[in-house]
Amino acid sequence: MERHWTGLGYTLRATSRDGRAAYFVTPDGFQLSVVVGWKDQPHFRVTTPPAEPSEVALPTTPPHGPDYRHKEVPEPDQFHPFWSLREAPPT
């Protein structure tokens, strides 16, 4: 995980003791946390630097994708050669 984000120019600020979370800062001041959770599902959180107030237009197109309101969200079913492992890493 660290290799990917530092390769994009992000600065590593901290990692968790178990290696399942990492915290980065982007060159333009965004803060990014990556946490690998249940069934190795990655969770991303981004905090923006302070921004100037501005007007934002309402969306002009309907949302795309399934509507999971009031339904159980399915487990991830996508494989990515960088982020996905076929087997658990050695302990």
Beta bridge pairs of residue 81: none
| Structure tokens given for 8 | 């994009």
12 touches 5 (CB < 8 A): yes
Q: Where are the beta strands (DSSP E) in 1-91?
A: 11-15, 21-25, 31-36, 42-47
* pLDDT tens digit sequence for 11-32: 999 999 998 999 999 998 999 9
* pLDDT tens digit sequence for 63-81: 888 888 898 888 877 778 7
pTM of the predicted model as reported, rounded to 2 decimal places: 0.52
pLDDT of residue 3: 85
Distance from C-alpha of 22 to C-alpha of 2, rounded to nearest angstrom: 8
Which residues does 21 contact at the CB level (< 8 Å), separation at least 6?
A: 15, 33, 34, 35, 36
